[in-house]
Amino acid sequence: MAYHQIRGNENLVAKLETITKSENVHHAYIFEGPLNSDKTGIAVSFAQALLCKKSPGTGCGVCPTCRMIESGNHIDIIRVKAGASKNSSVQSVRDNDIENLISRLNTKPYEADRNIAVIEDADTMSRKAANRLLKTLEEPPLGTVIMILSENITDLPVTIRSRCVHLRVLADDAKQNDLAEKTAGFVDLLTSRGSYISLKRTIEKIGKDRDKAFIFLDSLEDEYRKRLLDMDSSIKKEVIFKAVDEIEKTRKKIKGNVTVQYALKALTLNLGG
């Protein structure tokens, strides 16, 4: 997917195009965005723009290089994502995943003029994996570009964040607009001390789906931040700060295998439902 095919992230695309057309490409980027944002697609487009010979700086999307990148078959692009170990069902990016990645980055590229690493689900990296990656971020092999995909940048160690350029990926417009309406109504009910039954219905629609829960929490947090920026007089700043803090705690609870329904019900009660 070339830059011109990306929809809903025009500002980010413009920034990436400036980066790829310049000679000032940083060695590491964090692409942060909610679960329903296409972080992987953006990373693939960035890689195409960096390696495409037909349309350098933008990527054509149709040449052999771009097609190999799109299909995940380019030899100089190393991708890592979370997986479960034999003894656990918890998905994470493990130490040996990063160790293998770094080993490959320390070899010369085979076809392109640089190696590119894409680390998906970076929020799930073990501490050992994060520390191993940090060493490479501090002294990256020449020409290397590392893309770290994260749902929430605060889940990454500060030492890693400080060595990367931070880029925000927005969610799909249509889905995000529909979800924004629902979360806005949810916040209105909380603010007006509305019926818990109505709040409960929203929670029940999410069911036990962890992915839906994370998307809902992202949208809910965005709604509170929006009201803070809009200086919504119906909600005190202290209430908004508390709400964002509770949302972050709820996200961590679900990641720690607390059931979705229990975590969301507790959140609703803590926010005043």
Domains in the chain: boundaries: 3-168, 173-270
The dihedral sign for the CA sequence 104, 105, 106, 112: positive
CATH classification of 3-168, choosing from 3.20.20.80, 3.40.640.10, 3.40.50.300, 3.40.50.2000?
3.40.50.300
> Which of 247, 222, 264, 162 shows the shortest CA–CA distance to 36?
222
Q: How far apart are the first and last CA of the chain?
A: 44
Q: What local confidence, expressed as pLDDT, does residue 191 receive?
A: 80
Give me the percent of the chain exceeding a pLDDT of 70.
Answer: 92
Could you tell me which residues come within 8 angstroms of residue 30 by beta carbon, excluding any fewer than 6 positions away? 122, 148, 149, 150, 153, 156, 161, 164, 165, 166, 167
Q: What local confidence, expressed as pLDDT, does residue 228 receive?
A: 86
**Residue pair 59/2 in contact by the 8 Å Cβ criterion:** yes
* pLDDT tens profile 224-267: 888 888 876 678 888 889 999 999 999 888 888 788 888 998 99
* pLDDT tens profile 206-234: 777 787 788 888 888 888 888 888 876 67
**Residue pair 152/32 in contact by the 8 Å Cβ criterion:** yes
Tell me, what amino acid is at 182? K
Query: Tokens for 100?
Result: 């293998």
